Structure 1
Amino acid sequence: MTRLDPGLWMERPGFRKLLAALSGDDGATRLVGGAVRDWLLGAQVADIDLATRLAPPQVIAALEEAGIRAVPTGLAHGTVTAVVGGTPYEVTTLRRDVQSFGRHAEVAFTDDWQEDAARRDFTMNALYADPVSGEVLDWFGGLDDLSARRVRFIGEPLARIGEDHLRILRFFRFSARFAPELDAAGLAACAARANDLMALSRERIRDELLKLLALPSPASTVEAMVGNAILRPVLPEIGMAGVAQLRLLIDAETAARVSADGLRRLSALLPADAALAADVGARLKLSNADRNRLSLDADRSPAPDDPRALAYAVGPAAALDLLLLTGDARAGQWAGALSSWARPRLPISGKDLIAMGLPPGPQVSRRLGEVERRWVEAGFPADRNRVMAIARELLGMK
């Protein structure tokens, strides 16, 4: 029998109070999913999810009676967020699928733990823990799969993907995180149903893809995705050339001791084409800032002698991206400085040029731009008098 130490959760803020409210001592409520999996692996756990036999109205009533804030975050699917001790806990009533629609499911509540486990995606995510004894409950071989570092669908993979198309991307993300090799049956099912990704919102695809790319070593998994045409229906621009660039980027990040960044790695996967990057950014509904950064990352020109000049032009995040994407050996040297670099402001304005005798008009902006370029080349001197001297020299004035 596998057990976890209840001390892992009992001392968390408000947990004992929450457990008492939800009849955890009587077996009505258990820990479930990622927290159980990660504790078994000895990994850090941030969030704890709970499964309960109590129906949603009972959960809300029990929480309110105990003085615990209850937030109805997903009542149609049985989820209530309990906020206690400043910490949120998701509490979900045991469920079984009545009908599924590729991403959304019609559910019925149940009191059968195995029925609830059967509707989850992978065996390692269908592990439950008794909050009092720490006993781990496993109906589908999740403990063996976790021990073998194997990400395996519960039941028939094709059917599970049909219930929720996002499971295709989750299969690869979880495999990149936990498994040295892809489960053959799971891979075959994902390849067979890759077109199902077209039915997902682009936000869902974006979030899963960026999470995958931000993992420590996703290149082999991405290579398998490209080789099996998983991304072709939604991101046909990504090919094996992009995978090669991703590997080079990861090597550069490692050498420079720079943290992984999903957006930067997406840039590596795409051809160096700003217009194409902008199109992908729009398709994935990136924020305006991320869309702009993705486009800027498409310029793989060598960085100037002073990378701050690049940061001034494109921003510090894109500047570091470009140093890494071009394999610039200075990336490690400049990473820390760029992360805290604030864009300086030119100490003079067009009014100063007019005061020097330059006639008002369009040329003021043009000549100020020339002064700004000289100022950047000089290393951004903050001394106003020095910048005025640059302007006078440029304008041929004493």
Structure 2
Amino acid sequence: MTETLGQRPWMTAPPTAAVMDALEAAGGTDCARFVGGCVRNSLVGRPVDDIDIATVLTPEAVTRAVEAAGLRAVPTGVDHGTITAIAGGQPFEITTLRRDVSTDGRRAVVAFTSDWDEDARRRDFTLNALYARRDGSLVDPTGDGAADARAGRIVFVGDPEQRLREDYLRILRFFRFLAWYGKGAPDAAALAACARLKDRVTTLAAERISKELLKLLAADDPRQATGLMLEAGVLEMMLPEPINLERFKGLVEIETDLLFEADPLLRLAALLPDDQLTAMRLAESLRLSNAERDRLVAALAPLPKLKSWMSPREIRQAVYREGKAAFRDRAKLAWAAADRTAVTPQWRGMIALAEGWTVPEFPLSGEEVLAAGVPKGPMVGQVMREVEAWWIDHDFIDDKLSAIEKLKAVAQGMAY
């Protein structure tokens, strides 16, 4: 008996129906099937975010069919057989069935085929080599994909080393899928192959590495997968040593126990040493965005040291100097490295105080400093910094007159 997913809402939604109608008008019934993540996630009860379609139609035929139906066709990966159809504002990746002609582990030369089994044999994991027809019937060419998906087994299609040599990014994908879908002990053959070929990770483009790494770290609980990456020697191919696995585990524990949203960039910071220069270099090597780089660097600042027993006044001072976002990041990292069972309420209180505090603006301007008799030039900034330090030390006193009096006293005491 053919197993079926049933007709899921995403299968029958008008945009999906429009795309499938267009393809079937050109190639007939069963010329196109849903493939990969949408099938896998439906099988295991996970949300479906993207809908990918495999077809026997060539990219040119796909383009003609999509446009004939009044939909937009975008040539996102024609060399590898992929056309993206836009229907109802939603993208659908449509890829012609393929087989590898040659590959160097980074780029593959492919040939198109009409053989569904041949297409399945070049895919990475059995749980991704699953297809579903439009009526919801499941097609499992490897014979193991559905069972592996349900059991949380991340198993390569065929020989693990051969699959890895076709695309070394699959080393990282193995651990990413472990983090997201894995259950129990990992597949020993797959793990051994990743360890043997770990140095090939360094041949990959930085953008591919960072994208895959951050996807892995975005899983609800990537602790086991990350620990296995470290044991296999894969993690050190991407990150500088020493790798702070215990702080990383602590941060994930905090996020999991207290229902904080998973934060992949902060989890990356947790793995790094407390060294801003190292963070800067890593951000550059992984081609992170400027915003991601700046956040990493700020999170790993050595000073001020955050402690769970900081007073409200000290917390406000740190928030003012660092900003709310950097303070929150640094507080979570310090919390993750601490004895979490004893001081959880204090750390939570610190973060809540910082989030709820309205950061005040320094009440004096450069014009007011000049009006106090300070000449134009670097002395203006020096005086403002001294008065601001006094204002911060007095817990951001909400009294402009007192600030002006302090300004006058500082101005009078300065030697111009």
Task: Give 1:293's aligned residue.
Answer: 295
Does the aligned pair in 2 maintain the 1:256–1:332 contact within 8 Å? Answer: no
1:178 pairs with 2:181: yes
1:127 pairs with 2:130: yes
Cα 1:54–1:276 change in 2 (3 A) is same
Q: What letter is aligned with 1:375?
A: W
Task: Give 1:216's aligned residue.
Answer: 220
Cα 1:343–1:31 change in 2 (3 A) is farther
**Which one of the candidate residues 86, 89, 97 is aligned to 2:89?**
86
Q: How does 1:104-123 map to 2 (within 5 A)?
A: 104-123=107-126
Does the aligned pair in 1 maintain the 2:230–2:236 contact within 8 Å? Answer: yes
Cα 1:387–1:188 change in 2 (3 A) is same
Structure 1 gap ranges (5+): none
Question: Aligned partners of 2:180 and 2:207: how far apart in 1?
Answer: 21
**Which one of the candidate residues 357, 364, 368 is aligned to 2:380?**
364
Task: Give 1:19's aligned residue.
Answer: 20
Task: Give 2:340's aligned residue.
Answer: none
Q: CA deviation at 1:259?
A: 1.6
1:310 pairs with 2:318: yes
1:245 pairs with 2:247: yes
Does the aligned pair in 1 maintain the 2:227–2:245 contact within 8 Å? Answer: yes
Question: Aligned partners of 2:11 and 2:229: how far apart in 1?
Answer: 41
Q: CA deviation at 1:4?
A: 1.2
Q: What letter is aligned with 1:59?
A: V
Task: Give 1:351's aligned residue.
Answer: 367
Q: Say which SS state the counterpart of residue 311 (structure 2) adopts.
A: coil
Judge which range, 156-165 or 178-187, deviates more. 178-187
Judge which range, 376-385 or 72-81, deviates more. 376-385
Question: Aligned partners of 2:4 and 2:396: how far apart in 1?
Answer: 61
Judge which range, 25-34 or 366-375, deviates more. 366-375
Cα 1:47–1:378 change in 2 (3 A) is farther
Task: Give 2:146's aligned residue.
Answer: 143
Q: CA deviation at 1:372?
A: 2.4
**Which one of the candidate residues 281, 284, 308 is aligned to 1:279?**
281
Cα deviation 1:44-91 (Å, max 9, x = unaligned): 111100011111111111111110011111111111111111111111
Cα 1:23–1:340 change in 2 (3 A) is farther
Does the aligned pair in 1 maintain the 2:5–2:138 contact within 8 Å? Answer: yes
Cα deviation 1:339-389 (Å, max 9, x = unaligned): 687765423222211102223332210121122233344555676556435
1:235 pairs with 2:220: no
What TM-score does the superposition give when structure 2 sets the normalisation length?
0.88
Cα deviation 1:116-171 (Å, max 9, x = unaligned): 1111110001100001x211100111011112110000010001100000000000
Task: Give 1:326's aligned residue.
Answer: 334
Judge which range, 94-103 or 279-288, deviates more. 279-288
Q: CA deviation at 1:244?
A: 1.0
Question: Aligned partners of 2:131 and 2:256: how far apart in 1?
Answer: 37
1:166 pairs with 2:177: no
Cα 1:217–1:136 change in 2 (3 A) is same
Task: Give 1:7's aligned residue.
Answer: 8
Q: What letter is aligned with 2:296?
A: L
Cα 1:206–1:339 change in 2 (3 A) is farther
Cα 1:86–1:395 change in 2 (3 A) is same
Cα 1:82–1:238 change in 2 (3 A) is farther
Cα 1:203–1:309 change in 2 (3 A) is farther
Task: Give 1:157's aligned residue.
Answer: 160
Q: CA deviation at 1:316?
A: 2.4
**Which one of the candidate residues 41, 45, 51 is aligned to 1:42?**
45
Question: Aligned partners of 1:191 and 1:269: how far apart in 2?
Answer: 20
Structure 2 gap ranges (5+): 336-342
Q: CA deviation at 1:285?
A: 1.6
Cα 1:370–1:22 change in 2 (3 A) is same
Q: CA deviation at 1:302?
A: 1.5
Task: Give 1:260's aligned residue.
Answer: 262
Cα 1:255–1:178 change in 2 (3 A) is closer
Judge which range, 111-120 or 189-198, deviates more. 111-120
1:373 pairs with 2:375: no
Q: Say which SS state the counterpart of residue 26 (structure 1) adopts.
A: coil
Cα deviation 1:3-24 (Å, max 9, x = unaligned): 1122322442422121110108
Does the aligned pair in 2 maintain the 1:13–1:86 contact within 8 Å? Answer: no
Cα 1:340–1:172 change in 2 (3 A) is farther
Task: Give 2:338's aligned residue.
Answer: none
Question: Aligned partners of 1:362 and 1:384: how far apart in 2?
Answer: 23
Question: Aligned partners of 1:336 and 1:22: how far apart in 2?
Answer: 53
Question: Aligned partners of 2:259 and 2:398: how far apart in 1?
Answer: 31
Judge which range, 280-289 or 377-386, deviates more. 377-386
Q: What letter is aligned with 1:97?
A: D
Question: Aligned partners of 2:261 and 2:48: how far apart in 1?
Answer: 20
Cα 1:293–1:130 change in 2 (3 A) is same
Q: Say which SS state the counterpart of residue 106 (structure 1) adopts.
A: strand
Does the aligned pair in 2 maintain the 1:258–1:335 contact within 8 Å? Answer: no
Q: Say which SS state the counterpart of residue 50 (structure 2) adopts.
A: coil
Task: Give 2:339's aligned residue.
Answer: none
